[in-house]
A and B are shown apart, each in its own frame.
Chain A
Amino acid sequence: MEDEQSFSDICGGRLALQRRFYSPSCLEFSLSCPRITLRSLTAVTCTVWLAAYGLFTLCENSMILSAAIFITLLGLLGYLHFVKIDHETLLIIDSLGIQMTSSYASGKESTTFIEMGQVNDVVINEAIYMQKVIYYLCILLKDPVEPHGISQVVPLFQSAKPRLDCLIEVYRSCQDILAHQKATSTSLEGGDRIISASNRRSHSGMGAYWHRQEDKR
C-alpha cells in the first residue's frame, strides 16, 4: 500500500515522502530531494566559460577554452555521480534490521544495513547547523560492552534534511515496529531489557558525524 505526501526541507525546498507498507513488520520510506534546476546549471556553466574566456584573452592560448569545456563536462558528471542525491530510502524490517539507501542522480546507489541486534533506538535529535537549530532523525547503536549504553549515532536523511513534521511521521512508524520487536524479544528472552517508551527525548551520543555539530545535552 503506497502513500505520498509533500513536505519541505530546512531551506524551504519541496520534498516528497513516499511511504510503502508491505506488511505490519516491513515499512519503507522514500524521501526525494529537490532536483537540479536548469537555472543553477546554466549559471555555473556560464561562470566557468566566462572565466575561461577571460583567461584566453590574457594568454591567447586556445587550449584554455577546450580545457574549460572538459572541466565543465567532467565536473557535471562527477557532481551527478558522487554528490547529488536523488532520493533517500529507509527500509525497516522487524527482527531483521534497518537499511538506508542513497540513490545518486546518475543511478548509483549506496546502501548501509544495520542489524536489529545493534539498534538501541530511533530518536529525533536537535543540532546546531550553521546559524540554525534543526531536528534530525537518528539511529542509536548499542554498545557491545555496556548493554544500556550507546556507542554510535547514525543520522538519517542527511541530504534531504526534512523538517520536524516529516520526521514525526517517520518516527512514529519506526517506533511502532521497534516496540513490537522489543516486546517480542523481551518475551523470548524473558530478560531484563528495558522497553523504551515512545516519547521524544534527546540523547547525547558519541558520533562525530555530519558537519561537526553540537548535540544539545
Chain B
Amino acid sequence: MGLVSRGAAEAGLGAASAVDRPGPPDAVPNPTPTPPAEGADPGSSRPSMVLKAFFPTCCASADSGLLVGRWVPEQSSAVVLAVVHFPFIPIQVKELLAQVQQASQVGVTVLGTWCHRRQEPEESLGHFLEGLGAIFSHKPWFQLCRERGSKSWSCKATHWQGPASPAASGEDQVMLIFYDQRKVLLSQLHPPTALPNRQAGDTTASAGGLAAVFDTVARSEALFQSDRFDEGPVRLSHWQSEGMEASILVELAKWAAGPVCLFLACLLSLISAASACRVFKLWPLSFIWSKLSTCEQLRHRLEQLTLIFSTQKAESPAQLMRKANMLVSVLLDVALGLMLLSWLHRKDLIGQLADALIPVADHVAEELQHLLQWLMGAPAGLKMNRALDQVLGRFFLYHIHLWISYIHLMSPFIERILWHVGLSACLGLTVALSILSDIIALLTFHIYCFYVYGARLYCLKIHGLSSLWRLFRGKKWNVLRQRVDSCSYDLDQLFIGTLLFTILVFLLPTTALYYLVFTLLRLLVVAVQGLIHLLVDLINSLPLYSLGLRLCRPYRLAAGVKFRVLEHETGRPLRLLMQINPLPYSRVVHTYRLPTCGCHPKHSWGSLCRKLFFGELIYPWRQRGNKQD
C-alpha cells in the first residue's frame, strides 16, 4: 500500500455503475460487471432500503478524500464526522482512527469516499476508488460525489451480498441529511417528558436514532482536535479545521477559578461553622431564628454559595446548568439589592420611613380601637350579649394600649435600626424583602395575638357546643373507640348540660363575630406576607442563565430537530437540512428551575375552610425545624 497520489484523485469520479466489490483484498474483481437494477433486486425478496447519511455542512466544500465517521446499523444511518484528504497513508489513517476510538469509545471507521470534482471524470478513477474500498473494507460502502460550483450531488451505497450470490450486488437508495456540526456538538437534547405512569428507566428505550447522532458527534471531540495548521500525518476536514475555537476570557476564567473557588470555599465553611455553633442552639435564639424568614433566606443563600464555590467539578451538564443558574441568580439578587440601597439613600427614604413609622402604627392602633368600639355597640345591626361584649372589648382595648406604649418606647431607636436593616440590602434584594416581611410580622403582632385569643375562645366554644349537643341527644364520645356511643345520663347531668348548652348557644354570635373580624385581619396580613414571599421565591427559583442561553444561543437547548427539504431533481438523491428545534421557554423554566426553601402552604382550600370553621389555628407556612403547636 503506497502513497496515493493526489493528482489521480483530483481528476474526478467516474459516474460508473456499481461494481461487485470483493471482500478480501486480493480477490480478482469480476471482469464483466453486470449492471444491477437500481433499487430492488429481482433476485432478492428484500425491498430497497433507504440509507441515511448525515453529512456536515462544513465538509460540503472540502476537497476529495475519504469519509470518516460512524455507522449505526439499527437506524441504517451513517454519521460522517470528517473528511480525510489525499495524500494519505492508509496505515496512518487506521492508526489515527484506532486512537480516536480508544479515546472516545465511539466506533469511528472509514465509511466511503468523497469526491468534489471539477471536470469530466476519468475511467481510471473508478478502479482507484475500488481499490480504496478494498483497503478499508466497510459494509455498506458510500460513494458521495458533488460537482463543484453546482448543487447536484450523487451518492451510492454498495453492499457485498456474499458468496451465495456473487453476481448480484445490492445498491440502496441514500438520503443525504446535512447538519451543522458545531451546533450539534454543543447542543443538548431534551427528550419529551415521560408520562407519569412510566418509570425513569423506560425513557431511554425510546431515545431514537437522532439521539444516537447527537451522541456520536458530542463524544467524538478527540477527532476534532487537529486543525489544518497542524503538521500531522493525516489531513482532516471538519468544523474546527480552520482553527480551534477558544475564547481568551473563558480560558482566563478557568485558570482563575481554581484559587478563587478554594479561597471562597474556605471562607464559606468558616461562616457555616460559626453559624452552627452551640450558642445559636439555645432555646430563645433557636426559636426566634426558626420564626424569622430572613434567617431562612440567609441559610438558603449560604447553601447555594457553598455549592457554587465547591471545589469539585460538576459531573453532568444538568449540574453545571444548576451551578450557573445559582450564580446568576445570586449576582442579580445582589445587583438589585445595591440598586435598592442606592435609591433609599439618595432620597433619604430611611429617615422619612422612620419618621412615618410611629404615626402609622398609631393610626393602625386607633383604627383598631374604633373597630372594637363598633363591635362593643351594635355592629351591623346585630344585638350582642352586653356583658360578654364588654369583657372582650375591654380586654382587647387594654391590649392595644399596651402595644402603643411599647411602640412609643421603641421610637428613639427606630431610625438607627432601620438604617442598619437597610444596609443588609447589599446582601441581596431577597434578604431585604424577607426583612420587610419580618418587620410587617412584628408590627402586626397584636393582630396575631387577637386572632389567637379569638380563635381559642371560639374553638373552646365549638368543642363545648358539640359535646353538649351530643349530651342533649343522649350520646357520648367514646375516646377508646373513637366514635359516638349512646349513654344514659342522670337527670341532674342532663339538666346542667342543657343549661350550659343554652348559655353557649346564645353567646355564640358574639364570640363568632369577634373571631370573624380578627380572622379577616389576620388573613389580610398573611396575604401581604404571602405576596412578599412569592416574590422572594420567584427571584430564588428562576433559572436566568438557562433563559439567557435559550434567548442568545437557542441551539444549546434542543427539544428536537426539524427538517427542511432542499432543492430536489429527479434522479438525484433526496437532500434534507437538519436544524435544531429549540426548547420552548416554559419547558426551560420547568426543567431548570432551582429548588426553593419549600415554604409553601401545605393545605388545600377545603382543609383551610374546615380549619377556619372549627377555630383551629392556621399557620400559613411551616418553616424547617418548627415545632407543632
Contact = CB atoms under 8 A, between A and B. Distances in A.
B47 to A, nearest CB: 5
Interface in A16-52: 22-23, 25-26, 28
B173 A25 contact: yes
Interface stretch (B206-214, B548-556, B595-603): B206-214
A215 B206 CA distance: 26
Contact of B206 (A23, A95, A117, A183): A117
A184 interface: yes
Interface stretch (B139-147, B215-223, B559-567, B621-629): B559-567
A152 to B, nearest CB: 8
Contacts of A151: 195
A94 B47 CA distance: 13
B76 interface: yes
B562 A113 contact: yes
Contacts of B202: 144-145
B384 to A, nearest CB: 42
Interface string A164-202: 000000000000000010011001100000000000000
Given A113-B561, A117-B209, A93 B175 contact: yes
Contact of A101 (B75, B198, B203, B562): B562
A23 B568 contact: yes
A1 to B, nearest CB: 9
Contact of B208 (A23, A117, A183, A188): A117
Classify chain B: how many residues form its interface, as a range: 20 to 34
Contacts of B208: 115, 117-118
A113 B574 contact: no
Contacts of B47: 180, 183-184, 187
A112 B45 contact: no
Given A25-B50, A26-B565, A101-B562, A93 B45 contact: no
A86 to B, nearest CB: 17
A96 interface: yes
A177 B448 CA distance: 71
B52 interface: yes
B229 to A, nearest CB: 37
Classify chain A: how many residues form its interface, as a range: 20 to 34
Contacts of B565: 22, 26, 28, 91
Nearest to B208: A115
Given A22-B568, A144-B202, A113 B581 contact: yes
A112 B563 CA distance: 10
A183 B40 CA distance: 13
B74 to A, nearest CB: 9
Contacts of A101: 562
Contacts of A22: 565, 568, 574
Contacts of A113: 560-563, 581
B563 A91 contact: yes
Interface in B172-219: 173, 175, 177, 195, 198, 202-203, 205-206, 208-210
A22 B568 CA distance: 7
Contacts of B205: 144
B94 to A, nearest CB: 29
B560 A112 contact: yes
Given A144-B198, A151-B195, A180-B47, A96 B581 contact: no
Nearest to B204: A144
Nearest to B177: A96
A209 to B, nearest CB: 13
B209 A187 contact: no
B206 A96 contact: no
B51 to A, nearest CB: 9
A213 interface: no
B46 A187 contact: yes
B338 interface: no
A95 B46 contact: no
B11 to A, nearest CB: 31
29 contacts: A22-B574, A25-B50, A25-B173, A25-B175, A25-B574, A91-B563, A93-B576, A94-B50, A95-B50, A95-B76, A96-B52, A96-B563, A99-B562, A111-B581, A113-B581, A115-B208, A115-B209, A115-B210, A117-B75, A117-B206, A117-B209, A144-B203, A144-B206, A180-B47, A183-B47, A184-B50, A187-B46, A187-B47, A188-B76
Interface of B: 45-50, 52, 75-76, 173, 175, 177, 195, 198, 202-203, 205-206, 208-210, 560-563, 565, 568, 574, 576, 581
Given A96-B563, A187-B47, 7 more contacts: A22-B565, A93-B175, A95-B75, A99-B563, A112-B560, A113-B563, A145-B198
